Amino acid sequence: MKRISKLIGTAIFSASFVSLLVASPPRSVAQGTIDGDRAQEAITRTDEVIAGAKTVVEESRSQKAQLSLQVANGLQLRAKQSFSARGFGMAYKLTTEAREEAWHAIALARSDAQFEQNNVRVADETRERIARLRDLMVESGVRDEQAMKLMEQSRNLLEKSRLNAQQLRYQIALKLAMNAEQLAIRAEEHIRNTRAIKEAAERRLALLERL
């Protein structure tokens, strides 16, 4: 009877021990299987992405992208330090984060480059519109004070846009240029309406003279 009880107790202990192993796998299994070769391969890949990001960021002159690239370089440095200390799991984690940050820097650089291009286009088109409006006023003999005020406000916004672009604040510069464009469009509507009224009045005067 005692032998049977002892066997039962041993069986219960063995089952409990197996359950514990299943619930809590060994440390090496829980941490994954990041070996030196895999960590080194990941670090090399991140070095390539960071090198590409550096070219894109330098071409864009984006301050936000530059800061993001600095973060990527810092993470990559820590990854290499962990690799040297044979902390392959940590090295892999850090280099993966560095690579993601480098991709983020590329996205920021391309976004700011697009803002810069759009700002140049909108600002140039607005300046050309204002120049055409001045010519239109001279040719038609129209003097619209409200339109002239809107044109002056538009020029002021274009100047602010230029200054922000010089300081690499392309999103703000583009917004200012777009606002300037809207003011110029409103000025054009005023001038055309005033011109239409002037031409209608001239036709009426001509008709009265014939009568």
> Tens of pLDDT along the chain (211 residues)?
443 344 334 343 334 333 333 333 333 333 458 889 999 999 999 999 999 999 999 888 888 999 999 999 999 999 999 999 999 999 999 999 999 999 999 999 999 889 989 999 999 999 999 999 888 888 877 777 888 899 999 999 999 999 999 888 888 999 999 999 999 999 988 888 877 776 666 667 666 666 5
Contact 164, 172 (CB under 8 A): yes
SS3 for 24? coil
How far apart, in whole angstroms, are the C-alpha atoms of residue 49 and residue 2?
69
Tokens 């590409």 map to which residue?
52
Is residue 98 within 8 Å of residue 72, measured between CB atoms? Answer: yes
Other CB atoms within 10 A of residue 63 CB:
15
Closest residue by Cα to residue 120 from 178, 52, 45, 184: 178
Query: Rounded to whole angstroms, what are the CA distances from 16 to 20, 31, 47?
Result: 6, 23, 48
Pair 168, 116: CB distance under 8 Å: no
The pLDDT of residue 33: 80
Give the per-residue pLDDT at 208.
Answer: 66
What Cα–Cα distance (Å) separates residue 199 from each residue in 21, 78, 145, 193, 205? 95, 75, 18, 10, 10
pLDDT in the model for residue 75: 96
Cα–Cα distances (Å) from 153 to 13, 79, 146, 183, 184, in that order, read 86, 53, 11, 7, 9
Amino acid at 20: L
